[in-house]
Structure 1
């Protein structure tokens, strides 16, 4: 009987300081890692999700001198992105901003890009997560096909 190979699982976890620079650092790290992990078709969406989730953590979930965490996990079926911050009482909610509002669209983008997303309370703080499903043999072309369950702009 032939032994089945285990599908590799990749994981990365890094804490960031609550500064604007950390958003771009986390975004670039995510794109690089997801590409290195063999899923370049997910890198753009993953980087945008990290950017939106870390921006929300920075603006609404961080406390001075308290780090926030970005945790990436890739397995055979999904890429999961988690952003954990120290403020559990500040729960993000999608809203519809006015046309002239500069902010307020981040979770709408997360909802449009991610196959699943949500919030998990922690003893201290919260984790906001987003998941991108991995469809066998599919990249952006299959995700953007008519009838796909997630719609978004052209591949980056």
Structure 2
């Protein structure tokens, strides 16, 4: 077993103001946290996680922004799974993949998440919702 492979769950949680700059910061901090957990920058799982965090955080600040409310990023890792969660204050803005059309400049983010994640979904909160995505790590990191 790799000495950096957790035998229990490790977590990172951070709240951010709902701005585009903070969505970018969320992606950067996620990659840094994953590197500390043994998921090296530039590897497939790190790149996939960065893209998922970028898409979910961008959705939170673009479509689910509530004035005065923050969004939250939570990462948790077990030996074989990385879970990414982004929570916001708008329950009525549940993400639904849609066909944006060939010439559309946006609308493909959830399709990317479907490709990059082993599973994803939403769950309700007292205020708002959480969109989560799991990345399977055992095979991609060569663990048994």
Per the normalisation by structure 2, the TM-score is 0.88
| Structure 1 runs (4+) greater than 2 angstroms displaced | none
- Separation in structure 2 between the aligned mates of residue 90 and residue 19 of structure 1, nearest angstrom: 17
In angstroms, what is the RMSD of aligned CA positions?
1.4
**Is 1:112 matched with 2:105?**
no
- Contact 1:14–1:69, Cα closer than 8 Å, also in 2: yes
Give matches, 1:1-150, under 5 Å. 7-40=7-40, 41=43, 42-136=45-139, 138-139=140-141
Larger Rg: 1
Per the normalisation by structure 1, the TM-score is 0.82
- Separation in structure 2 between the aligned mates of residue 116 and residue 79 of structure 1, nearest angstrom: 11
Using the TM superposition, give the Cα deviation of residue 97 of structure 1 relative to its aligned residue in structure 2, in angstroms: 0.8
Q: Does 1 or 2 have the higher relative contact order (CA < 8 Å, sep 6+)?
A: 2
Using the TM superposition, give the Cα deviation of residue 9 of structure 1 relative to its aligned residue in structure 2, in angstroms: 2.5
- Separation in structure 2 between the aligned mates of residue 36 and residue 26 of structure 1, nearest angstrom: 15
Structure 2 residue runs of 5 or longer lacking an equivalent are: 1-5
